[in-house]
Amino acid sequence: MRKIVFIAICSLFALSGFAQQQLGQRPRVQSPVIHADGTVTFNFYDPSAQRVSVSGDFNEISSRRLDMTKQDNGVWTVTTTPLNPELYSYSISVDGQRFIDPANSYVNRDISTLSNIFIVTKATGDKGHLYSVNDVPHGTLSRVWYDSPTLGQQRRMTVYLPAAYDGKKRFPVMYLLHGHGGDETAWGDLGRASQIMDNLIAEGKAVPMIVVMPNGNPTCNAAPGWWHEGMYTPDGNAFNQRGAKATMEESFMDIVNYMDSHYKTIRKREARAVTGLSMGGGHTFGISYRYPEVFDYYGLQSAAARMNQNDNKFNEQMARLFASKPKLFWIAIGKDDFLMQMNTQLKEYLDAHQYPYEYYENDGGHIWRNWRIYLTLFAQKIFK
Amino acid sequence: MRKIVFIAICSLFALSGFAQQQLGQRPRVQSPVIHADGTVTFNFYDPSAQRVSVSGDFNEISSRRLDMTKQDNGVWTVTTTPLNPELYSYSISVDGQRFIDPANSYVNRDISTLSNIFIVTKATGDKGHLYSVNDVPHGTLSRVWYDSPTLGQQRRMTVYLPAAYDGKKRFPVMYLLHGHGGDETAWGDLGRASQIMDNLIAEGKAVPMIVVMPNGNPTCNAAPGWWHEGMYTPDGNAFNQRGAKATMEESFMDIVNYMDSHYKTIRKREARAVTGLSMGGGHTFGISYRYPEVFDYYGLQSAAARMNQNDNKFNEQMARLFASKPKLFWIAIGKDDFLMQMNTQLKEYLDAHQYPYEYYENDGGHIWRNWRIYLTLFAQKIFK
Q: What is the ipTM of this complex?
A: 0.92
Cβ <8 Å between B107 and A98: no
Spatial separation of the C-alpha atoms in residues A140 and B143, rounded to whole Å: 6
- Does pLDDT of B9 surpass 60? no
Cβ <8 Å between A100 and B114: yes
Angle, in degrees to the nearest 10, between helices A312-323 and A279-290? 80
CA-to-CA separations, A366 to A146, A273, A281, A333, A372, in angstroms, rounded: 30, 22, 12, 8, 12
Q: Is A96 in the B-facing interface, judged by CB distances under 8 Å?
A: yes
pLDDT tens string B278-325: 999 999 999 999 998 999 999 999 999 999 999 999 999 999 999 999
Residues of A within 8 A of B96 (CB-CB) are: 46, 48
Closest-CA distance, B303 to chain A, in angstroms, reads 27
Quote the DSSP letter at residue B270.
G
Closest-CA distance, B142 to chain A, in angstroms, reads 4
Residues in CB range of B14: below 8 A, 6 or more apart: none
DSSP sequence for A14-73: HHHHHHHHHTTPPPP----EE-TTS-EEEEEE-TT-S-EEEEE--TT-TTEEEE-EE-TT
- Span of A286-295, B48-57, B61-70 with lowest mean pLDDT: B61-70
Nearest to A277 by CA among A190, A196, A177: A177
Spatial separation of the C-alpha atoms in residues A302 and A202, rounded to whole Å: 28
Confidence at residue A241, expressed as pLDDT on a 0 to 100 scale: 59
Confidence at residue B239, expressed as pLDDT on a 0 to 100 scale: 65
CA count, 13 A, side-chain hemisphere, A67: 6
Residues in CB range of A372: below 8 A, 6 or more apart: A87, A127, A131, A191, A192, A196
Q: Is B98 in the A-facing interface, judged by CB distances under 8 Å?
A: yes
Q: What is the dihedral of CA A228, A231, A236, A241, to 10 degrees?
A: -40
Instruction: Confirm if B141 and B158 have CB atoms less than 8 A apart.
Output: yes
User: How would residue B236 be classed by pLDDT, with cut points 50, 70 and 90?
Assistant: confident
CA angle A232, B65, B361 (to 5 degrees): 85
User: How would residue B15 be classed by pLDDT, with cut points 50, 70 and 90?
Assistant: very low
Confidence at residue A76, expressed as pLDDT on a 0 to 100 scale: 98
Closest-CA distance, A363 to chain B, in angstroms, reads 28
Nearest to A303 by CA among A359, A221, A242, A246: A359
Spatial separation of the C-alpha atoms in residues A219 and A200, rounded to whole Å: 34
Q: Is A24 in the B-facing interface, judged by CB distances under 8 Å?
A: no
**Three-state DSSP state, B161:** strand
Instruction: Confirm if B380 and B337 have CB atoms less than 8 A apart.
Output: no
Spatial separation of the C-alpha atoms in residues B103 and B351, rounded to whole Å: 52
Q: Which residue has the higher pLDDT, B142 or A81?
A: B142
**Three-state DSSP state, B372:** helix
- Does pLDDT of B10 surpass 80? no
Confidence at residue A61, expressed as pLDDT on a 0 to 100 scale: 53
The residue in chain B having the minimum alpha-carbon distance to the alpha carbon of residue A48 is B95
The residue in chain B having the minimum alpha-carbon distance to the alpha carbon of residue A128 is B230
Confidence at residue A240, expressed as pLDDT on a 0 to 100 scale: 63
Amino acid type, B63: S
Confidence at residue A27, expressed as pLDDT on a 0 to 100 scale: 85
Cβ <8 Å between A231 and B107: no
A376 — phi, psi (to 5°)? -60, -45
Spatial separation of the C-alpha atoms in residues B307 and B61, rounded to whole Å: 32
Confidence at residue A234, expressed as pLDDT on a 0 to 100 scale: 87
Largest CA distance in chain A: 92
What are chain B's domains? 25-128 (2.60.40.10), 133-230+238-381 (3.40.50.1820)
Q: Is A237 in the B-facing interface, judged by CB distances under 8 Å?
A: no
State which H helix or E strand residue B331 sits in. strand B328-334
Evaluate if pTM is beyond 0.90.
Answer: yes
Compute the mean pLDDT over every residue in chain B, rounded to the nearest whole number: 91
Report chain A's terminal Cα–Cα distance, integer Å. Answer: 68
Q: Is A315 in the B-facing interface, judged by CB distances under 8 Å?
A: no
Spatial separation of the C-alpha atoms in residues A238 and A228, rounded to whole Å: 15
**Chain A, chain B: beta-carbon pairs less than 8 Å apart:** 123
Spatial separation of the C-alpha atoms in residues B122 and B37, rounded to whole Å: 8
List, in sequence order, every beta strand (DSSP E) within chain A. 33-34, 40-45, 52-56, 64-67, 69-70, 75-79, 86-94, 97-99, 107-110, 113-120, 140-148, 153-161, 173-177, 210-213, 272-277, 297-301, 328-334, 358-362
- Does pLDDT of B277 surpass 60? yes
Amino acid type, A45: Y
SS3 content of chain A, % helix, strand, coil (to 5): 30, 25, 45
Q: Using CB atoms and an 8 Å cut-off, which of residues 142-161 of chain B contact chain A?
A: 142-145, 154, 156
CA angle A262, A267, A270 (to 5 degrees): 140
Burial bucket for residue B38 (CB in 10 Å: 0-12, 13-18, 19+): middle
User: How would residue B235 be classed by pLDDT, with cut points 50, 70 and 90?
Assistant: confident
pLDDT tens string A131-144: 999 999 999 999 99
- Mean pLDDT per segment of 10 residues, for chain A of length 384 residues? 39 38 69 96 96 86 80 95 94 95 96 96 95 98 97 96 97 97 97 98 98 95 95 78 85 98 98 98 98 96 95 97 98 98 98 98 95 98 97
Largest CA distance in chain B: 92
